[in-house]
């Protein structure tokens, strides 16, 4: 898919030691990795429905959809390309090991939200930055809305809760990592 460069990006300025500390801070452990893999199995066939919900949310808020616009008009090709990568992000979040390659790709995603690389991957003209406040604020809708999907495959209530908690931790970590380019050197 266009622009999906997993494993072929520049290195993150953060180290595995930094990632381990972030994991510890959000209480992410081996059981969370197990439950994320389970969530990946549950979400695999529902990814389009998840994206429909999330894109409906973005599209219903002019202050969010404006990040995909040029001269006030949404760029549908750009929205489609980002959507495909967003779907892949769901699967990567659930299934990829949180190793240096994963950390490097989170940095690439961060740069693509920031003025450093916004619009370059897709060669579009659009608003030049996604403001950091929305990266943080998006933690809630992307977490809150996933629970119903996690419960759609007949897992026990306990398994759904564990998948949901693991998802929440993983989303919090990625959104935090995506904020790195917005912060002054030495302050992240």
Who's near 57: CB < 8 A, 6+ residues apart?
A: 64, 141, 145
Who's near 153: CB < 8 A, 6+ residues apart?
A: 41, 42
Q: What is the mean pLDDT of residues 137-153?
A: 97
Q: Which pLDDT does position 6 carry in this prediction?
A: 97
Q: Band of the pLDDT at 82, cuts 50, 70, 90?
A: very high
Q: Band of the pLDDT at 42, cuts 50, 70, 90?
A: very high
Q: Which pLDDT does position 157 carry in this prediction?
A: 98
The DSSP secondary structure of 29-59, one letter per residue, reads -HHHHHHHHHHHHHHHTTHHHHHHHHHHHHH
Q: Which pLDDT does position 134 carry in this prediction?
A: 98
Q: Which pLDDT does position 101 carry in this prediction?
A: 98
Q: Band of the pLDDT at 187, cuts 50, 70, 90?
A: very high
Which contiguous run of DSSP H or E holds residue 69?
strand 69-70
Which contiguous run of DSSP H or E holds residue 73?
strand 73-74
Q: Which pLDDT does position 89 carry in this prediction?
A: 98
Q: Cα 50 from chain centroid? A: 13
Q: Which pLDDT does position 29 carry in this prediction?
A: 97
Q: Which pLDDT does position 25 carry in this prediction?
A: 98
Helix 30-44 vs helix 157-178: angle between axes, to the nearest 10 degrees?
100
Architecture of the domain whose range is 51-181: Orthogonal Bundle (1.10)
Q: Band of the pLDDT at 121, cuts 50, 70, 90?
A: very high
Whole-model pTM over 0.85 = yes
Q: What is the mean pLDDT of residues 4-28?
A: 98
Residue 110, token pair as written in the block:
């961060």
Q: What is the mean pLDDT of residues 85-96?
A: 98
């Amino acid at each position: 898919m266009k622009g999906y460069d997993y494993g072929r990006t520049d290195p993150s300025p953060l180290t595995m030691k930094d990632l381990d500390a972030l994991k510890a801070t959000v209480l992410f452990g081996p059981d969370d990795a197990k439950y994320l893999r389970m969530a990946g199995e549950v979400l695999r066939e529902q990814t389009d429905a998840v994206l429909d919900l999330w894109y409906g949310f973005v599209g219903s808020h002019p202050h969010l959809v404006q990040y995909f616009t040029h001269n006030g008009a949404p760029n549908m090709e750009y929205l489609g390309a980002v959507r495909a990568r967003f779907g892949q992000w769901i699967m990567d979040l659930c299934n990829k090991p949180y190793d240096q390659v994963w950390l490097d790709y989170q940095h690439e995603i961060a740069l693509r939200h920031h003025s450093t690389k916004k619009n370059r991957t897709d060669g579009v003209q659009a608003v030049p930055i996604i403001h950091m406040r929305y990266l943080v604020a998006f933690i809630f809708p992307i977490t809150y809305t996933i629970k119903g999907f996690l419960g759609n495959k007949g897992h026990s209530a306990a398994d759904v809760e564990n998948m949901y908690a693991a998802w929440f931790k993983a989303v919090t970590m990625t959104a935090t990592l995506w904020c790195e380019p917005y912060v002054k050197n030495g302050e992240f």
